[in-house]
Amino acid sequence: MTGVCLSSACLAGSPPAAREAKALDRSGQMGALRELLRRSPNDRQALMRLEALKTASWRDAPTGLVKKQTVPGYTNQTAWFHISVPDEYKAGKPLPLIVFLHGGAHEEGTADNIVALAQALPPFKKVIVVFPNHLRTWWAHPREMTYLADTIDIVMLRWRVDPKRIYLMGCSMGGNGVWGMGSRCPELFAAVAPVSGFYAGFLEFPIQNLAAKPVYILHGTNDTVPIAGAREAFGILKRLNAPVEMREAACDHQIPVDEFARAADWLLKRTNTQTFDLPAIRDRVAKTPVAGWLKQYPGN
């Protein structure tokens, strides 16, 4: 395994591309060490090396709005994310993470469309917010959910995230993705918030898995995405005695900024009581069968 400079001096004054290359090199080494530890969990030297690399990565992580960061293992040109990190970020203090999924459709929409929320919402300024860009199709596709797990993994390697305070939020197609991803790996998130997201039984989302998870449903009463689906999902969860709340905003598909802020504030009051194994989650979503409704799209 190649060596790596652990000194922050190695990154001082480096251009963003060089800093990202260094971070990705560290991430690759950390991934190899974690794989080694899965096979040999008592390898003390590997464990110490992994902890040293994580500490260095967290210490040198950039703050502010960091654009178009790549995800290791993906060559698709759309496999990137924007991330907003408070200037007050310190490696010694883990911060909550909001994963925000953009809207659009199959081969439509990008994270560029919603990254302005990082500057507009007061709750977003206090936490780390990652805005993944989808690969090509709906977020609920197993390929996209696998990519999401990998994105969360790389973020947690490069920035110090509080594992008890990871939240999933998304609007439109992203809201649909919240139902898909959230219902298939509820243990990963402290709470989830589908916003203007389409829901229907034929989507085959196992939302009963969210029965013990705080869910905030936000939908406009005049939305072109039928609010009936959101109400149906709310009713299912309510009958399961889930800690679910539904907010019907007086708007169309464009949700006002203050409603997003209300939803974010609600999420951030929740703490995860479950533990999770991210590699196991990745394997689980990767093996999810492609639902019939997704098969109608080219390439699926």
Domain range holding 189?
63-293
For residue 15, what pLDDT band results from cuts at 50, 70 and 90? low
Q: Is the pLDDT of residue 102 over 70?
A: yes
Rounded mean pLDDT of 21-28?
Answer: 74
Q: CA–CA separation, 226 vs 232, rounded Å? A: 11
Rounded mean pLDDT of 78-88?
Answer: 95
Q: CA–CA separation, 136 vs 251, rounded Å? A: 29
Flag whether 71 is in a domain. Answer: yes
Query: Given this model, what pLDDT does residue 274 score?
Result: 97
Spatial contact of 103 and 173, defined as CB atoms under 8 Å apart: yes
* Beta strand ranges found along 48-105 (DSSP E): 64-70, 80-85, 95-101
Query: Given this model, what pLDDT does residue 25 score?
Result: 77
For residue 47, what pLDDT band results from cuts at 50, 70 and 90? confident
Q: CA–CA separation, 227 vs 173, rounded Å? A: 14
Flag whether 8 is in a domain. Answer: yes
Q: Is the pLDDT of residue 19 over 70?
A: no
Kind and range of the H or E run holding 234: helix 227-239
Flag whether 300 is in a domain. Answer: no
Task: Out of 28, 60, 92, pick the residue that ends a domain.
Answer: 60
| Cβ neighbours around 296 below 10 Å, total | 8
Per-residue pLDDT of 175-186, as tens digits, reads: 999 999 999 999
Rounded mean pLDDT of 20-37?
Answer: 78
Say if residue 112 is in the same domain as residue 213: yes
Query: Given this model, what pLDDT does residue 148 score?
Result: 98
List Cβ neighbours of 94 (8 Å cut-off, separation of 6 or more): 160, 161, 162, 163
Say if residue 56 is in the same domain as residue 67: no
Say if residue 89 is in the same domain as residue 39: no
Query: Given this model, what pLDDT does residue 37 score?
Result: 82
| Cβ neighbours around 64 below 10 Å, total | 12
Beta-carbon-side half-sphere exposure of residue 243 (alpha carbons within 13 Å): 12
Flag whether 220 is in a domain. Answer: yes
Per-residue pLDDT of 114-166, as tens digits, reads: 888 888 899 999 999 999 999 999 999 999 999 999 999 999 999 999 999 99
Q: CA–CA separation, 5 vs 26, rounded Å? A: 9
Spatial contact of 264 and 114, defined as CB atoms under 8 Å apart: no
Q: Looking at the 3D structure of the chain, how many domains does it have?
A: 2
Rounded mean pLDDT of 204-225?
Answer: 98
Report if pTM > 0.75: yes
